[in-house]
């Protein structure tokens, strides 16, 4: 269990109930700044973990079992079974070039607003998953122009994962995660003709894992 996975799960739990991280803390009777991003690292850059008491209060406040938080941490939530349902789901769709504009994501990287298109794609467990249509050749030969990828904000990210990253400047990239520390993220380009990239943590708005592609 990783530090980033715990915080991402709490962000996902808040979003499920229409709350921000601050709103979730307030609902649980905690200081509204308890779950702020600035509180997730110490002044020396070391990981700061939420207390078990805080987690317990949050689960009580939203009426969620501990199992739900565990599902969000691991990214292995099980979708409810329906006897005759087809394994499809309508999920939000955005173009890669569009994704850098304001108004499409909240601060945790979850889709918001009413300007998204929709598309029928294989069902995934994350209720906040969305689709991105690749444009251009910067991700060839892995992803080509017109390919659709499903992105899961709740899925934990690890070295070697293909991810979508949005910077605070509005740049959106699809890369391979090489290394993630408390201070920096290193990314490898999928197309060898394009350079690898690296960012300080405070330059990154969010990072989310690609869990499916239409190829």
User: How many angstroms separate the CA atoms of 192 and 154, rounded?
Assistant: 29
- Residue 67 in tokens: 């199992």
User: How many angstroms separate the CA atoms of 149 and 162, rounded?
Assistant: 10
**For residue 191, pLDDT beyond 60:** yes
Residue bearing tokens 């307030």:
26
Residue 75's pLDDT is what? 66
Residue 85's pLDDT is what? 42
CATH topology of domain 89-213: Umud Fragment, subunit A (2.10.109)
CATH topology of domain 3-74: 434 Repressor (Amino-terminal Domain) (1.10.260)
pTM: 0.55
Compute the average pLDDT of residues 64-88: 62
- Residue 40 in tokens: 């997730």
Domains 3-74 and 89-213 agree in fold: no
- Residue 77 in tokens: 């939530």
CA dist 82 → 66, 72, 125, 185, 195 (Å): 24, 21, 14, 40, 46
Residue 83's pLDDT is what? 37
Q: How many Cβ atoms sit within 10 Å of the Cβ of residue 69?
A: 19
Share the mean pLDDT of the chain.
84
Contact (Cβ atoms closer than 8 angstroms) between residue 152 and residue 124: yes
Residue 167's pLDDT is what? 94
Checking DSSP bridges between strand 148-152 and strand 162-167, what pairing results, if any? Answer: unpaired
Spell out the domain ranges in the chain: 3-74, 89-213
User: How many angstroms separate the CA atoms of 18 and 130, rounded?
Assistant: 17
Answer with the residue of higher pLDDT: 73 or 183: 183
Residue 86's pLDDT is what? 40
Sequence-separated (6 or more) residues with CB below 8 Å from residue 43 = none
**Helix or strand (DSSP H, E) at 88:** strand 88-95
């Amino acid at each position: 269990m990783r530090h980033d996975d715990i915080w991402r799960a709490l962000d996902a739990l808040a979003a499920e109930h229409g709350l921000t991280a601050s709103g979730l803390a307030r609902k649980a009777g905690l200081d509204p700044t308890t779950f702020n991003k600035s509180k997730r690292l110490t002044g020396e850059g070391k990981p700061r973990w939420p207390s078990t008491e805080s987690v317990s209060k949050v689960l009580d406040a939203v009426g969620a079992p501990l199992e739900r938080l565990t599902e969000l941490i691991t990214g292995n939530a099980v979708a409810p079974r329906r006897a005759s349902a087809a394994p499809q789901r309508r999920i939000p769709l955005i173009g890669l070039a569009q994704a850098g504009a304001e108004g499409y994501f909240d601060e945790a990287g979850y889709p918001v607003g009413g300007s998204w298109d929709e598309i029928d794609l294989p069902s995934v467990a994350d209720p906040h998953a969305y689709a991105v249509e690749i444009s251009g050749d910067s991700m060839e030969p892995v992803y080509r122009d017109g390919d659709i990828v499903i992105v899961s904000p709740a899925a934990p990210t690890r070295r070697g994962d293909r991810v979508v990253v949005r910077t605070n400047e509005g740049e959106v990239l699809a890369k391979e995660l090489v290394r993630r520390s408390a201070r920096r993220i290193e990314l490898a380009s999928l197309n060898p003709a394009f350079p690898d990239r690296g960012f300080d943590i405070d330059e990154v708005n969010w990072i989310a894992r690609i869990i499916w592609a239409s190829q």
